[in-house]
Structures are given as C-alpha cells and as structure tokens.
Amino acid sequence: MQFQLTEEQLMIQKAARDFALQQCLPGVIERDEKQLFPKEQVMQLADLGFMGMMVDPAYGGAGMDTISYVLAMEEISKVDASVSVCMSVNNSLVCWGLEAYGNEDQKKQYLTPLAQGKKDGELYIGAFLLSEPEAGSDASSQRTTAEDKGDYYLLNGTKNWITNGSSASVYLVIAQTDVTKGPAGINVFIVEKNWPGVSVGAKENKMGIRGSDTHSISFTDVKVPKENRIGEEGFGFKFAMKTLAGGRIGIASQALGIASGAFERSLAYAKQRKAFGKEIMQHQAIQFKLADMATKVEAARLLCLKAAWEKDNKKDYTLSSSMAKVFASEAAMWIATEAVQIHGGYGYVKEYHVERLMRDAKITQIYEGTSEVQRIVIGRSVLK
Ligand code: CAA
C-alpha cells in the first residue's frame, strides 16, 4: 500500500490550488451575497480540462484518474463550493453516466462538448434531473412520466433543486415510463434545454452554495427522440444509482475541501489572534479543537481517496463512496461550525469566510443522498 501521490497528481493538485486562489477567491464573498453564477470560473475550469477530468481524451476529456479529481475538488472547494459543485455534477453525474452507458452517437454528440465544458466557444455543461417535489430520498417514486409514443417519448413533469439548472445545455432526465414496473419502469433520457416544452423555474434563494444555480425544471409534452434514451428500456433507476455512487465521491471531496478550508483558516487565525496575553493556539481549549479538526480532515481525505482508488481500480465503490460522503459531510459541518467558534465575533461576519463555509457545509449532508440515505446504503452492505 502506498500513501504517495504521483508527480502528475501533485501537478493537478497545484493547478487546482492556484486556480482556486487566483480565480475563485477574488469576488467569492460578492458572488455568494448576490447569488451570482461563477460563469467565468467555470469557463476557466473548462480550459484546465477540469469539466471532463476523467473522460477518455477520445471524447474530449482530460483522461485523468479519480484520485486527481478528489485532489482538485478539495482545493477548489476550500475556496468556493459554488464553483466545485458545478464541476462535480458535470464530471460525475453527467459525463460519467454518458461515458459509461451512452452509445457511440450519444457520446459523440453530447459527451464530447460536455467533457470540454464548451461548444463553439460558449459554456456547455450538463445537469442531472432525478429529484422531484415528492421524490427526494425516495428516488424511485418518480412522478415525471415519459410516455412511449412509438418513435419518441412524451415527457411531462417537474424536477426540483437542479444544480446547473439554468446554465446547463443538456439535462439527463430520469422519468417513469411504466409505473406498474416500479424502479424497473424508470428510464433516463438526454434532453436539451432549448427544446419546446422545457421551462426553467426561478433560481432558489439558498442558505449556502449561493452562486450555484439551483432551479426547478418543468416539462410539458416534450418530445424526446427514442435515440435519446440511455441504455436498455428500464435501465434508468440503476443508471441513477450507479452514477450517484461516483457522484458521492465528488460531493465527499467537496465536503473535504470545505472542512480543510475551515481548518486552515482557523489554524492561521489561532496563530495570530491573542487573548489573555498569548496567541489563542496556546490555549488548550483551542488546541483540542484544532487537533480534532485536523484528525477529521485526515480521516475524510483517506476515505475519499480510498473510494477514488477503488473506482480507478474497477472495484465496487458503492459502499466506500457512501462512507466517504457521510463522514466527510458530517466532519465538514462540525469543523466549519468550530471554525466560526474559534474566530469568535469575526467568524460571524462575512469577511472572514468561515460563516460561508459553515453555510456551504450543510448542503453536503443533503444533496446526492442525505446522510440518512448514505446510512441506508452502508447498512444494507454491512448487514449482508
Ligand atoms: N447500483 C446498481 N443497482 C442498484 C443500486 C446501485 N448502487 N442501488 C439499488 N440498485 C438497484 C437494486 O438492485 C434494485 O434492482 P433489482 O430490483 O433489479 O434488484 C433497484 O435498483 C431498486 O433498488 P432498491 O430497492 O434498493 O431501491 P429503494 O427504493 O429502496 O432506494 C435508495 C434505495 C438508496 C434509498 C435510493 O432511492 C437513493 O439513493 N436515494 C437518494 C437519491 C439521491 O441521492 N438523490 C440525489 C439527487 S442528485 C443531486 O443531488 C445532484 C446535486 O444537485 C448535486
């Protein structure tokens, strides 16, 4: 067993760190406050090859491994989780699903520009449409329908809390084709945002990751060509589950980044802030907090890297990605809350960043499967 990154992985980590500090840090407070989508930053990520990091270069990707993806997600999430969620969804939920299960035509038409993050010089990203007003954790209770009309499907319904909702050009939409079959009656379709009958709702006014554009998306009699179904008839629910297993590595790494960002800021602050005649890091009350933070960050990092290693080595990573996600997201919430505490009054104002990290941490316990859903997945596996 080796605990050493390769030269290439270290280079990718540094590129991500430089990008985060130079391109994401300036303006992050304003983007959060005004809920501005970080389009410029996402276009730059595309230029770095980070929007299709793990996709085969034959389809426009950067051909990197999942370990590198974890490293890049951590560095970017330390600074701006609104940028990193956009990157995570495009990489793990959209590009991966298309590359793993799409046919050659679908890959050429959609995967190639999605992996590049651009088409004709314009932003070109995707979104994953599973959640509905009444189907969040209970993902197989889909109400969106795709009626088989012979050479096309007729799509009707509404999806909620869709990351990249208005910025995406392409949606992967999960819908029920035959309600009598339960999960086996669910399919997944590639739908273009500008098709007739697709409408984008207002941007959600969120607690955290406020730059990321989260919308509801509605479909009214949208004609989806048969060739835009991914995989065999009835494969949609399994597609969603398999894709989410990889997505959870991305969100676990996002949580890791928020956690390590909050820890690094707390350590720096504790070294310079004085109270009772000495730096606050000299007080054991603060030292213990920093020690626990450092330990949780390290444990979260190891879980993320293990899940990534399993994915790169073609092993089943369903269990490890759920473990990484539940642990890293809970660590992020705890660490960011303690970071605010260490900063005291400064922690409660925006200029010191940790209050934003605390708000951003919360969503990592909710999206791509709540902590409770991760425990269902873990429980089923360990009880086997
Ligand atoms: N891989 C392959 N197949 C799987 C699977 C997996 N990981 N998990 C389940 N399946 C299969 C099962 O084997 C079963 O198939 P068979 O009948 O052929 O055996 C079928 O799928 C149904 O499985 P279950 O009976 O286990 O399904 P369930 O209804 O009990 O649900 C669940 C299980 C784990 C709770 C699931 O509903 C779930 O993951 N819910 C959370 C949904 C979620 O993560 N949403 C996130 C939205 S996307 C997002 O958040 C993006 C963003 O904005 C950042």
DSSP, collapsed to helix, strand or coil, labels residue 383 as: coil
CB 80 within 8 A of CB 28: yes
**Whose CA is closest to atom 5 on ligand 1?**
241
The tens digit of pLDDT for each residue in 17-51 reads 999 999 999 999 999 999 999 999 999 999 999 99
Question: Atom of ligand 1 at shortest distance to CA of 141?
Answer: 29
Give the distance (Å) from ligand 1 centre to CA of residue 268.
41
Q: Give the angle subtended at the CA of 287 by the CAs of 356 and 74, to the nearest 5°.
A: 40
CB 326 within 8 A of CB 378: yes
pLDDT at site 1: 86
How many CB atoms are closer than 10 A to CB 111? Answer: 28
Residue 2 has pLDDT above 90, yes or no: no
Residue with tokens 């005291």: 344
Residue 144 has pLDDT above 90, yes or no: yes
If we measure between CA atoms, which residue out of 191, 182, 183 comes closest to residue 154? 191
Give the distance (Å) from ligand 1 centre to CA of residue 377.
9
Question: Atom of ligand 1 at shortest distance to CA of 162?
Answer: 53
**Whose CA is closest to atom 25 on ligand 1?**
183
**Whose CA is closest to atom 22 on ligand 1?**
183
What's the pLDDT band for 66 if we cut at 50, 70, 90?
very high
Secondary element (H or E) of residue 119: strand 118-119
How many CB atoms are closer than 10 A to CB 1? Answer: 3
**Average pLDDT rounded to a whole number, residues 215-240:** 98
Q: How many whole angstroms separate alpha carbon 341 and alpha carbon 359? A: 14
Question: Atom of ligand 1 at shortest distance to CA of 373?
Answer: 35
Written as one string, the DSSP assignment of 36-49 is: ---HHHHHHHHHHT
pLDDT > 70 in the chain, percent: 100
- Structural tokens at position 81: 């989780």
The tens digit of pLDDT for each residue in 315-362 reads 999 999 999 999 999 999 999 999 999 999 999 999 999 999 999 999
Give the distance (Å) from ligand 1 centre to CA of residue 265.
37
pLDDT at site 49: 98
DSSP, collapsed to helix, strand or coil, labels residue 61 as: coil
Question: Atom of ligand 1 at shortest distance to CA of 161?
Answer: 53
Q: Residue 341 burial by CB count (10 A; 0-12/13-18/19+): exposed, middle or buried?
A: middle
Residue 235 has pLDDT above 90, yes or no: yes
Give the distance (Å) from ligand 1 centre to CA of residue 294.
33
- CA 291 → CA 278, 285, 324, distances in Å? 19, 10, 20
pLDDT at site 108: 98
What the chain holds in terms of domains, given with CATH numbers, is 7-123 (1.10.540.10), 126-234 (2.40.110.10), 244-382 (1.20.140.10)
**Average pLDDT rounded to a whole number, residues 204-225:** 98
Residue with tokens 């505490």: 341
Give the distance (Å) from ligand 1 centre to CA of residue 378.
12
Our mutation pick for probing the ligand 1 site, out of 241, 360, 384, counting the most ligand atoms within 8 A of Cβ, is 241
CB 228 within 8 A of CB 280: no
Question: Atom of ligand 1 at shortest distance to CA of 89?
Answer: 54
Q: How many whole angstroms separate alpha carbon 320 and alpha carbon 245? A: 9
Our mutation pick for probing the ligand 1 site, out of 86, 95, 140, counting the most ligand atoms within 8 A of Cβ, is 140
Give the distance (Å) from ligand 1 centre to CA of residue 12.
32
The tens digit of pLDDT for each residue in 95-128 reads 999 999 999 999 999 999 999 999 999 999 999 9
DSSP, collapsed to helix, strand or coil, labels residue 349 as: coil
- CA 381 → CA 206, 325, 347, distances in Å? 33, 15, 40
Indicate the DSSP class of residue 52. S
Q: pTM of this prediction?
A: 0.98
**Whose CA is closest to atom 43 on ligand 1?**
369
